Amino acid sequence: MTETNVLARQTNDLDAFWLPFTPNRAFKRAPRLISRAKDMHYFTPDGRAVLDGLAGLWCSNAGHNRDPIVAAIQRQAAELDFSPAFQFAHPKAFALASRIAALAPGDLNRVFFCNSGSEACDTALKIALAYHHVRGEGSRTRLIGRERGYHGVGFGGISVGGMVNNRKFFGTLLAGVDHLPATYSREHQAFTKGEPEWGAHLADELERIVALHDASTIAAVIVEPMAGSTGVLPPPKGYLQRLRAICDKYGILLIFDEVITGFGRLGHAFAAERYGVTPDLICFAKGVTSGAVPMGGVIARESLYDAFMRGPEHVIELFHGYTYSAHPLACAAGLAALDLYRDEDLFERAKKLEPVMADAAMTLKGLPGVLDVRTVGVAAGIDLASRPGAVGLRAYEAMERAFHDEDLVIRVGGETIAIAPPLIVSEAQIAEIFEKLARVIRAVN
């Protein structure tokens, strides 16, 4: 081989990159490559426009490569590339925290920054534990998650999370964790638009857990108001309210993981607002920068923050943080994204699109192999029947076909397809997504 050929082979080599949450061998046999994006579309290296049915990974809520966000990042990169958030700070960190606090419900107005949803969840769990500790209730160490929950991939997140493949390979996880049951029942909820009628009573399982462990050992409960990654599972009507009431009764903190539901997915800044339930801590990430720069964070109630503000003033109150907490590029992107959400009224737009999404998604009912369709906000989950002995293969093929044959990006997990386009999606594009998907589902039957 000539030297040029060796170089060409190395630069085009697919071997080195170990892709996350991807079957690497199957991917490298038929790669799905994306090299550019604008608004609702990706573009492949050979110039094919591919419709984004999942807002990136539930994050590009304002669409891709929006000019104001691009310009804000470019300006920021030229002005201040980095400044530490430990003992120092830059002005945009305060500006963004204030903007996020203004969007959050109730007295949730103290914002701790990190860089991802996983870090946000681990941060929230640590704040909950430390909160009880500083108040002299250090016996409250138990964390309660939920089956089918997804709280990222840190050890805290997978411990309270409830997805077996994310847990089983990784040892003993955190000690002292218990789980509520999942809220999904196909028998009682199949083909529901919005929040199902059945299932509020499942929140009462928290009473059973309290009876088993005693409230004095329990620090916090963490749930996604709508579980996105495990297949778009909206909360049963009244479920979150009951969870809040039981947490209040026993002094247990309630954490909403709004990494997917934050910033408009359910027609509000946060799902907490849609459901009229105020948690003690909210985890956010993804949509805060419309996916343009990694960022996550936790919003805490003022009283919770105040509990830490004691002791000598020169001593750090919370021994936690990341080198890239409140990174200047992320803050600039976040401010520009929040401006876009406001100026284009995208949360309200999501609310108006909800029935359009729901009707379009339900057109899949009755197609071969479709076991359930669920919708809420600008999101839909579609369960397919597995082929005998090959769980997940049908959905995987659906994703491949969608990309290669229909120019559509969808997300699959197990045998579930998730659809959650950017909130700028037009009604015609919603119809296009589900027409393409119907053809794909027929083709993989």
163 scored as a contact of ligand PLP (CB under 6 A): no
Beta bridge partners of 214: none
Judged by CB under 6 A, the residue of 52, 195, 224, 372 near ligand PLP is: 224
150 scored as a contact of ligand PLP (CB under 6 A): yes
Nearer to ligand PLP, 66 or 151 (CB): 151
Residue 195 to residues 189, 240, 275, 284, 374, Cα–Cα distance (Å): 9, 11, 10, 22, 9
Q: Which of residues 332-391 bind ligand PLP (CB under 6 A)?
A: none
Helix (H) or strand (E) holding 372: strand 370-375
Shortest distance (Å) from residue 286 CB to ligand PLP? 6
String of DSSP letters for 128-168: HHHHHHHTT-TT--EEEEETT----SSHHHHHH---HHHHT
Judged by CB under 6 A, the residue of 60, 61, 116, 192 near ligand PLP is: 116
285 scored as a contact of ligand PLP (CB under 6 A): yes
> Count residues contacting ligand PLP (CB under 6 A)?
15
151 scored as a contact of ligand PLP (CB under 6 A): yes
Helix (H) or strand (E) holding 301: strand 296-301
263 scored as a contact of ligand PLP (CB under 6 A): no
Shortest distance (Å) from residue 73 CB to ligand PLP? 18
Is the C-alpha dihedral spanning 142, 146, 152, 153 positive or negative? Answer: positive
Shortest distance (Å) from residue 155 CB to ligand PLP? 13
> Which of these ranges, 68-76, 127-135, 170-178, 255-263, lies near ligand PLP under the rule CB under 6 A?
255-263
Shortest distance (Å) from residue 224 CB to ligand PLP? 5
Shortest distance (Å) from residue 388 CB to ligand PLP? 30
Strand 177-180 to strand 108-114: parallel, antiparallel, or no bridges (unpaired)?
unpaired
Nearer to ligand PLP, 53 or 228 (CB): 228
Contact indicator for 54, 260 with CB cutoff of 8 Å: no
Token pair of 405 as six digits: 């044959």
The full length of the chain comes to 445
Angle between helices 328-343 and 346-362 in degrees, nearest 10: 70
Shortest distance (Å) from residue 59 CB to ligand PLP? 8
Shortest distance (Å) from residue 85 CB to ligand PLP? 18
Nearer to ligand PLP, 189 or 229 (CB): 229
Angle between helices 393-406 and 427-443 in degrees, nearest 10: 120
Nearer to ligand PLP, 380 or 444 (CB): 380
Shortest distance (Å) from residue 316 CB to ligand PLP? 25
Judged by CB under 6 A, the residue of 159, 229, 290, 416 near ligand PLP is: 229
Measured between alpha carbons, how far is 248 from 240 in angstroms, rounded to an integer? 12
What residues contact 19, with CB distance under 8 A and at least 6 apart?
27
Nearer to ligand PLP, 178 or 257 (CB): 257
228 scored as a contact of ligand PLP (CB under 6 A): yes
Q: Alpha helix locations (H) across 252-411?
A: 271-275, 302-308, 328-343, 346-362, 393-406
Judged by CB under 6 A, the residue of 178, 257, 354, 415 near ligand PLP is: 257
Nearer to ligand PLP, 196 or 296 (CB): 296
Strand 380-384 to strand 370-375: parallel, antiparallel, or no bridges (unpaired)?
antiparallel
Shortest distance (Å) from residue 233 CB to ligand PLP? 11
Task: Give the DSSP letter of residue 40.
Answer: T
Beta bridge partners of 37: 42
Q: What 3-state class would DSSP assign to 69?
A: helix
Nearer to ligand PLP, 116 or 183 (CB): 116
Judged by CB under 6 A, the residue of 50, 121, 364, 370 near ligand PLP is: 121
Judged by CB under 6 A, the residue of 53, 63, 117, 334 near ligand PLP is: 117
Token pair of 64 as six digits: 């891709």
Beta bridge partners of 255: 222, 281
Nearer to ligand PLP, 295 or 357 (CB): 295
Q: Which of residues 34-63 bind ligand PLP (CB under 6 A)?
A: 58
Contact indicator for 353, 411 with CB cutoff of 8 Å: no
152 scored as a contact of ligand PLP (CB under 6 A): yes
Residues that bind ligand PLP (CB under 6 A): 58, 116-118, 121, 150-152, 224, 228-229, 257, 259-260, 285
